Amino acid sequence: MDKRTDCPDLGVAQVFFEYGNMLYRIAFVMMKNAFDAEDVVQDTLIKYMECSKHFETEEYRKAWLIRVDINLCKNRLRFYKNHPRISMEQLSRYYETKEDTRLMDALLLLPEKYREILMLHYVEGYQGKEIARMLKMSEASVRKRLERGRKKLREIVGEV
């Protein structure tokens, strides 16, 4: 007898309908915020969609989804621990002077290619090598954009 008849292959929509709330609750408890929990559930469903494995039973499918969900949470938490970050809302609380506000406003006026690199480096705390890998560019290009971005930022702050 074909085992596929015991546990039919379910589409992502069916899996989401059946297990989505459970996966979300697990992720929410681990991540402690709704946005990250939603991202983890979405990543879990993407992993399921990419998975070519046949599940012997429905319990095995459920266990696999839970394990993937938990592992993705752990990975994300580990990443956050290794790459401390500050949100724009948190940054705005630290605007003590008009100078600080002016600097953040100037940063937002920069062209995207400079703003992105400056934000990744100074706000998110990534090193040049990591930024180069993420943006698929050379480290020399990252260093040059950091240099040019700082220069443009000084020019904008000087004008304002």
Q: Are residues 74 and 7 in the same domain?
A: yes
Residues whose CB falls within 8 Å of the CB of residue 62, separated by 6 or more in sequence, listed in order: 19
pLDDT 10s per residue in the chain (160 long)? 344 445 567 787 888 899 999 999 999 999 988 999 999 999 999 999 888 778 888 889 999 999 999 999 999 998 888 776 666 556 555 555 556 567 777 777 888 888 888 888 877 778 889 888 888 899 999 999 999 999 988 888 776 5
Nearest to 92 by CA among 81, 107, 71, 74: 107
Q: Are residues 7 and 77 in the same domain?
A: yes
Identify the pLDDT of residue 112: 81
**CB half-sphere exposure, 152, CA atoms < 13 A:** 19
Identify the pLDDT of residue 73: 94
Number of domains in the chain: 2
Please state, in angstroms and as integers, the Cα–Cα distance from residue 55 to each residue in 8, 87, 110, following that order: 8, 41, 51
Identify the pLDDT of residue 69: 95
Identify the pLDDT of residue 8: 60
Please say which residue of 41, 66, 82 terminates a domain: 82
Nearest to 12 by CA among 39, 38, 50: 50
Which CATH number does the domain housing residue 121 bear?
1.10.10.10
Six-digit token pair at 77?
């938490």
pTM of the predicted model over 0.75: no
Please say which residue of 39, 55, 82 terminates a domain: 82
Which CATH number does the domain housing residue 28 bear?
1.10.1740
In which domain, by residue range, is 9 found?
3-82
Please say which residue of 82, 115, 134 terminates a domain: 82
Q: Are residues 93 and 155 in the same domain?
A: yes
